[in-house]
Amino acid sequence: MSANPFLDPTLVHGDLYRGDGRLADRTHALHRAKISGSDVADTIAGLLAARVPAGADVLDIGCGRGTTTLRLADRLRPRQLVAVDASAALLRTTRDRLGATGALGSVVCADFHHLPLPDSAADAAVAAFCLYHSPTPDLAVAEIARCLRPGGAAALVTKSLDSYAELDHLVQAAGLDPDATSRPSLYESFHSGNLHTITATHLTVLDIQHEQHVFHFADATHLARYLTTTPKYRITLTGGILALATTLKQRLAPPPYTARSTVSYAVAVRP
Domains in the chain: boundaries: 5-162+184-214+261-269
Predicted pLDDT at 59: 98
Query: What distance lies between CA 105 and its chain's CA centroid?
Result: 20
C-beta separation of 126 from 72 below 8 A: yes
pLDDT tens-digit profile of 129-147? Answer: 999 999 999 999 999 999 9
Question: What integer is the mean pLDDT of 148-175?
Answer: 98
What's the rounded Cα separation, in Å, for the pair 47 and 146? 21
Question: What integer is the mean pLDDT of 207-236?
Answer: 97
CA torsion through residues 140, 142, 146, 151, sign:
positive
Bridge partners of residue 261, in order along the sequence: 213
CA torsion through residues 47, 53, 55, 56, sign:
negative
pLDDT tens-digit profile of 22-63? Answer: 999 999 999 999 999 999 999 999 999 989 988 999 999 999
Predicted pLDDT at 54: 82
Predicted pLDDT at 12: 95
Question: Percent of the chain having pLDDT more than 70?
Answer: 100
Is pLDDT at 195 greater than 80 in this prediction?
A: yes
Question: Percent of the chain having pLDDT more than 90?
Answer: 97
Question: What integer is the mean pLDDT of 202-226?
Answer: 98
Question: What integer is the mean pLDDT of 103-112?
Answer: 95
Predicted pLDDT at 104: 87
C-beta separation of 214 from 30 below 8 A: no
Is pLDDT at 1 greater than 70 in this prediction?
A: no
CATH for the stretch 5-162+184-214+261-269: 3.40.50.150
Predicted pLDDT at 53: 86
Predicted pLDDT at 244: 98
Rounded (5°) CA angle 56-125-23: 125
Question: What integer is the mean pLDDT of 105-129?
Answer: 97
